[in-house]
Amino acid sequence: MKPIIAYYRASKSEQTNSIEVQRNQMTEFIKRHGDTYFLAKEYFELHSGKDRKRIELAKAIKHCTDQNYTLAFTKIDRLSRVASHLLNIRDSGLNLICLDMPELNTLTFGIFATIAQHERELISHRTKAALAIVKQNKKLGNPKGWKEVQEKAQNRRKESRQIWLSSIESDRAKSIIELLRKNGNQSLNEIARNLNFQNIPTQRGGRWQSSLVKKFITDIEINNF
Protein backbone atom coordinates (compact mmCIF):
# COMPACT_ATOMS: atom_id res chain seq x y z
CA MET A 1 0.00 0.00 0.00
CA LYS A 2 1.05 3.58 -0.68
CA PRO A 3 1.62 5.92 2.30
CA ILE A 4 -0.25 9.22 2.36
CA ILE A 5 0.65 12.45 4.16
CA ALA A 6 -2.54 14.44 4.81
CA TYR A 7 -2.56 18.24 4.98
CA TYR A 8 -5.51 20.23 6.36
CA ARG A 9 -5.83 24.02 6.47
CA ALA A 10 -8.40 26.49 7.68
CA SER A 11 -8.20 30.27 7.87
CA LYS A 12 -8.57 31.88 11.29
CA SER A 13 -11.91 33.40 10.26
CA GLU A 14 -13.48 30.03 9.43
CA GLN A 15 -15.60 27.89 11.70
CA THR A 16 -13.51 25.98 14.24
CA ASN A 17 -14.77 22.60 13.03
CA SER A 18 -13.42 23.08 9.48
CA ILE A 19 -10.25 21.06 10.22
CA GLU A 20 -12.34 18.25 11.70
CA VAL A 21 -14.54 18.18 8.60
CA GLN A 22 -11.43 17.77 6.42
CA ARG A 23 -10.12 14.98 8.66
CA ASN A 24 -13.45 13.17 8.41
CA GLN A 25 -13.32 13.41 4.61
CA MET A 26 -9.79 12.02 4.59
CA THR A 27 -10.83 9.17 6.90
CA GLU A 28 -13.66 8.24 4.55
CA PHE A 29 -11.27 8.32 1.58
CA ILE A 30 -8.84 5.97 3.35
CA LYS A 31 -11.69 3.61 4.23
CA ARG A 32 -12.79 3.45 0.58
CA HIS A 33 -9.23 2.90 -0.69
CA GLY A 34 -7.79 0.90 2.17
CA ASP A 35 -6.34 -1.66 -0.21
CA THR A 36 -4.31 1.04 -1.97
CA TYR A 37 -3.43 3.75 0.56
CA PHE A 38 -2.77 4.16 4.26
CA LEU A 39 -2.49 7.36 6.30
CA ALA A 40 1.11 7.80 7.48
CA LYS A 41 0.87 11.25 9.11
CA GLU A 42 -1.35 14.34 9.33
CA TYR A 43 -0.35 18.01 9.32
CA PHE A 44 -2.75 20.89 9.94
CA GLU A 45 -2.70 24.62 10.63
CA LEU A 46 -4.91 27.68 10.96
CA HIS A 47 -3.50 30.06 8.38
CA SER A 48 -4.50 32.14 5.39
CA GLY A 49 -4.26 30.36 2.05
CA LYS A 50 -2.69 33.45 0.47
CA ASP A 51 0.45 33.14 2.63
CA ARG A 52 3.14 30.96 1.08
CA LYS A 53 5.19 30.74 4.29
CA ARG A 54 3.30 28.06 6.22
CA ILE A 55 5.33 25.92 8.59
CA GLU A 56 3.11 22.83 8.63
CA LEU A 57 2.70 22.78 4.86
CA ALA A 58 6.47 23.00 4.47
CA LYS A 59 6.86 20.08 6.89
CA ALA A 60 4.30 18.01 4.99
CA ILE A 61 6.00 18.68 1.64
CA LYS A 62 9.45 17.86 3.06
CA HIS A 63 8.09 14.64 4.58
CA CYS A 64 6.71 13.59 1.20
CA THR A 65 9.90 14.56 -0.63
CA ASP A 66 12.21 12.74 1.81
CA GLN A 67 10.14 9.55 1.93
CA ASN A 68 8.61 9.64 -1.57
CA TYR A 69 5.15 9.74 -0.02
CA THR A 70 1.96 11.17 -1.53
CA LEU A 71 0.58 14.52 -0.34
CA ALA A 72 -3.23 14.43 0.06
CA PHE A 73 -5.66 17.31 0.68
CA THR A 74 -9.43 17.73 0.44
CA LYS A 75 -9.56 20.74 -1.92
CA ILE A 76 -6.93 22.53 -3.96
CA ASP A 77 -7.56 25.82 -2.14
CA ARG A 78 -6.69 24.10 1.15
CA LEU A 79 -3.20 23.66 -0.24
CA SER A 80 -2.90 27.30 -1.33
CA ARG A 81 -4.86 30.20 -2.83
CA VAL A 82 -1.89 31.60 -4.75
CA ALA A 83 -1.65 30.26 -8.30
CA SER A 84 2.16 30.55 -8.55
CA HIS A 85 2.58 28.70 -5.25
CA LEU A 86 0.29 25.89 -6.38
CA LEU A 87 2.12 25.57 -9.69
CA ASN A 88 5.48 25.41 -7.90
CA ILE A 89 4.16 22.54 -5.77
CA ARG A 90 2.84 20.80 -8.87
CA ASP A 91 6.12 21.21 -10.74
CA SER A 92 8.18 19.95 -7.79
CA GLY A 93 7.35 16.38 -8.80
CA LEU A 94 5.33 15.53 -5.70
CA ASN A 95 2.64 12.87 -5.95
CA LEU A 96 -0.63 14.66 -5.18
CA ILE A 97 -4.15 13.53 -4.32
CA CYS A 98 -7.06 15.99 -4.17
CA LEU A 99 -10.18 14.35 -2.72
CA ASP A 100 -12.52 16.74 -4.54
CA MET A 101 -10.81 16.06 -7.88
CA PRO A 102 -9.63 12.45 -8.11
CA GLU A 103 -9.02 12.95 -11.83
CA LEU A 104 -6.50 15.74 -11.12
CA ASN A 105 -3.76 16.04 -13.76
CA THR A 106 -1.23 18.63 -14.92
CA LEU A 107 -3.78 20.54 -17.02
CA THR A 108 -6.67 20.57 -14.54
CA PHE A 109 -4.31 21.46 -11.69
CA GLY A 110 -3.22 24.59 -13.55
CA ILE A 111 -6.82 25.59 -14.28
CA PHE A 112 -8.00 25.15 -10.71
CA ALA A 113 -4.91 26.89 -9.34
CA THR A 114 -5.99 30.00 -11.25
CA ILE A 115 -9.58 29.61 -10.00
CA ALA A 116 -8.39 29.27 -6.39
CA GLN A 117 -6.51 32.58 -6.61
CA HIS A 118 -9.47 34.27 -8.32
CA GLU A 119 -11.79 33.10 -5.51
CA ARG A 120 -9.37 34.51 -2.93
CA GLU A 121 -9.41 37.89 -4.68
CA LEU A 122 -13.23 37.85 -4.76
CA ILE A 123 -13.42 37.00 -1.06
CA SER A 124 -10.98 39.81 -0.25
CA HIS A 125 -13.08 42.27 -2.26
CA ARG A 126 -16.30 41.13 -0.57
CA THR A 127 -14.77 41.33 2.89
CA LYS A 128 -13.61 44.91 2.27
CA ALA A 129 -17.05 45.82 0.95
CA ALA A 130 -18.72 44.21 3.99
CA LEU A 131 -16.44 46.06 6.41
CA ALA A 132 -17.17 49.32 4.58
CA ILE A 133 -20.89 48.73 5.14
CA VAL A 134 -20.24 48.00 8.82
CA LYS A 135 -18.16 51.15 9.15
CA GLN A 136 -20.93 53.20 7.54
CA ASN A 137 -23.52 51.70 9.88
CA LYS A 138 -21.43 52.66 12.91
CA LYS A 139 -21.64 56.31 11.87
CA LEU A 140 -25.44 56.37 11.96
CA GLY A 141 -26.23 58.42 15.05
CA ASN A 142 -25.33 57.87 18.69
CA PRO A 143 -28.40 58.19 20.97
CA LYS A 144 -27.75 57.98 24.68
CA GLY A 145 -28.87 55.43 27.25
CA TRP A 146 -30.35 52.01 26.57
CA LYS A 147 -30.95 52.78 22.89
CA GLU A 148 -27.21 53.30 22.42
CA VAL A 149 -26.47 49.89 23.94
CA GLN A 150 -29.05 48.26 21.68
CA GLU A 151 -27.63 49.89 18.56
CA LYS A 152 -24.08 48.86 19.43
CA ALA A 153 -25.20 45.27 19.90
CA GLN A 154 -27.12 45.38 16.62
CA ASN A 155 -24.11 46.79 14.78
CA ARG A 156 -21.89 44.05 16.18
CA ARG A 157 -24.34 41.44 14.93
CA LYS A 158 -24.44 43.08 11.51
CA GLU A 159 -20.65 43.20 11.38
CA SER A 160 -20.36 39.54 12.29
CA ARG A 161 -23.01 38.63 9.70
CA GLN A 162 -21.35 40.64 6.93
CA ILE A 163 -17.97 39.03 7.58
CA TRP A 164 -19.47 35.54 7.66
CA LEU A 165 -21.32 36.18 4.40
CA SER A 166 -17.88 36.81 2.86
CA SER A 167 -16.38 33.60 4.27
CA ILE A 168 -15.37 30.46 2.39
CA GLU A 169 -18.10 28.40 4.11
CA SER A 170 -20.70 30.95 3.01
CA ASP A 171 -19.43 30.75 -0.58
CA ARG A 172 -19.69 26.95 -0.47
CA ALA A 173 -23.28 27.16 0.80
CA LYS A 174 -24.18 29.65 -1.93
CA SER A 175 -22.71 27.41 -4.65
CA ILE A 176 -24.75 24.42 -3.49
CA ILE A 177 -27.95 26.48 -3.31
CA GLU A 178 -27.38 27.85 -6.82
CA LEU A 179 -26.80 24.34 -8.16
CA LEU A 180 -29.95 22.99 -6.51
CA ARG A 181 -32.02 25.88 -7.83
CA LYS A 182 -30.71 25.40 -11.36
CA ASN A 183 -31.90 21.82 -11.13
CA GLY A 184 -35.36 23.02 -10.14
CA ASN A 185 -35.10 22.30 -6.42
CA GLN A 186 -36.59 25.24 -4.50
CA SER A 187 -37.49 23.35 -1.30
CA LEU A 188 -35.91 25.01 1.75
CA ASN A 189 -35.95 21.71 3.62
CA GLU A 190 -34.17 19.93 0.77
CA ILE A 191 -31.56 22.69 0.53
CA ALA A 192 -30.97 22.44 4.29
CA ARG A 193 -30.58 18.66 4.00
CA ASN A 194 -27.96 19.04 1.24
CA LEU A 195 -25.99 21.67 3.16
CA ASN A 196 -25.89 19.42 6.22
CA PHE A 197 -24.90 16.44 4.07
CA GLN A 198 -21.93 18.45 2.75
CA ASN A 199 -20.89 19.26 6.35
CA ILE A 200 -21.26 23.01 5.81
CA PRO A 201 -21.93 24.67 9.19
CA THR A 202 -24.20 27.65 9.79
CA GLN A 203 -22.77 30.93 11.02
CA ARG A 204 -22.89 29.63 14.60
CA GLY A 205 -21.47 26.25 13.67
CA GLY A 206 -24.78 24.38 13.88
CA ARG A 207 -26.98 22.51 11.43
CA TRP A 208 -29.12 24.09 8.73
CA GLN A 209 -32.91 24.31 8.95
CA SER A 210 -35.39 25.76 6.48
CA SER A 211 -35.69 29.06 8.39
CA LEU A 212 -31.90 29.56 8.36
CA VAL A 213 -31.75 28.76 4.64
CA LYS A 214 -34.47 31.34 3.94
CA LYS A 215 -32.63 34.03 5.94
CA PHE A 216 -29.32 33.18 4.25
CA ILE A 217 -30.84 33.45 0.75
CA THR A 218 -32.44 36.78 1.68
CA ASP A 219 -29.15 38.15 3.04
CA ILE A 220 -27.04 37.21 0.00
CA GLU A 221 -29.66 38.67 -2.35
CA ILE A 222 -29.85 41.95 -0.40
CA ASN A 223 -26.06 42.29 -0.17
CA ASN A 224 -25.44 41.06 -3.75
CA PHE A 225 -23.07 38.30 -2.57
Which pLDDT score, from 0 to 100, does residue 218 have? 87
pTM of the model: 0.51
Number of H helices, E strands in the chain: 9, 4
d(CA 90, CA 14) in angstroms, rounded, equals: 26
Give tens-digit pLDDT for 141-162. Answer: 554 556 676 777 777 888 888 8
The two most distant CA atoms of the chain are separated, in Å, by 69
Which pLDDT score, from 0 to 100, does residue 72 have? 94
Strands 2-10 and 37-46: parallel
Q: How confident is the model at residue 35 (pLDDT cuts 50, 70, 90)?
A: very high
Average pLDDT (81-85) is 79
Beta strands in 13-76 (DSSP E): 37-46, 70-73
Measuring CA to CA, how many Å separate 53 from each of 9, 71, 72, 86, 118? 13, 17, 19, 13, 20
Domain 2-110 in this protein, CATH class: alpha beta
Q: What is the domain partition of the chain in residue ranges?
A: 2-110, 118-222
Which pLDDT score, from 0 to 100, does residue 135 have? 67
Average pLDDT (75-103) is 82
Cα three-residue angle 186-192-198, rounded to 5 degrees: 115
